[in-house]
Structure 1
């Protein structure tokens, strides 16, 4: 560990690896009524071997950027609940759900995790910003 390591933010790639190691990921979405009606009936499946199952069940990869930023590119499997409506997360995500939270740079995700913890979430983790992500993004 170097003297300036404390200045480094969370490692988003490591956070994504932890998320992918989860069992039975819950896929949630917060969208407009028009977007909901356009995708009604969609089914999302996650098929994994028993060896891939992990103790963190039902995890959600949560993008707290704006809907516009999300549409420009997001990590596959992530769900968008913008920071400015994070107080509504409890309506769609239970308090014991493991949350892997990211944004653009890590600042909003840090704030979101703090807010989620004040709301009673006990398993929220800031994994940093998408700008440091080395994987593919979905548009």
Structure 2
């Protein structure tokens, strides 16, 4: 009996994970670094990492709105302009995009591979 409960829980977790994966692919455009570079200057470039990560190095021109603060800082983002998101590897960007989409944002883009794959100019805080 306990084994069946465990199996059911695992199946449910896998189903939820697959749902989120396909939903994210539907609402979020993942861009290569080259594609990201072409469009981010005309968009809202948001680094969703925590402030210490941001201060350690970020894409030139990015604003830091950590995922942990995003819900309370939505007023800082415009719905009529594209939103370019990045984090360290992509997981937080995906979660941020899901949240933004629920709040009515539609032009959502993410840097493939996140900041750790970025080879362009960066800025650090001293």
The interval holding the TM-score normalised by the smaller chain is 0.5 to 0.7
CA-based RMSD of the aligned residues comes to 1.5
Taking structure 1 as the reference length, the TM-score comes to 0.62
| Larger helix proportion of the pair | 2
**Larger gyration radius, structure 1 or structure 2:** 2
Runs of 4+ in 1 over 4 A off after TM superposition: none
> Which secondary structure state, in structure 1, belongs to the residue aligned with residue 122 of structure 2?
coil
Distance 1:71 1:130, change over 3 A: same
How far apart in 2 are the matches of 1:10 and 1:125? 7
Counterpart of 1:49 in structure 2 is none
Find the partner of 1:116 among 92, 100, 114: 100
Partner residue of 2:35?
Answer: 14
What is the TM-score with the length of structure 2 in the denominator? 0.68
Q: Which blocks of at least 5 consecutive residues in structure 2 are unaligned?
A: 1-29
Q: Which has the higher strand share?
A: 2
The offset of 1:114, in angstroms, is 1.1
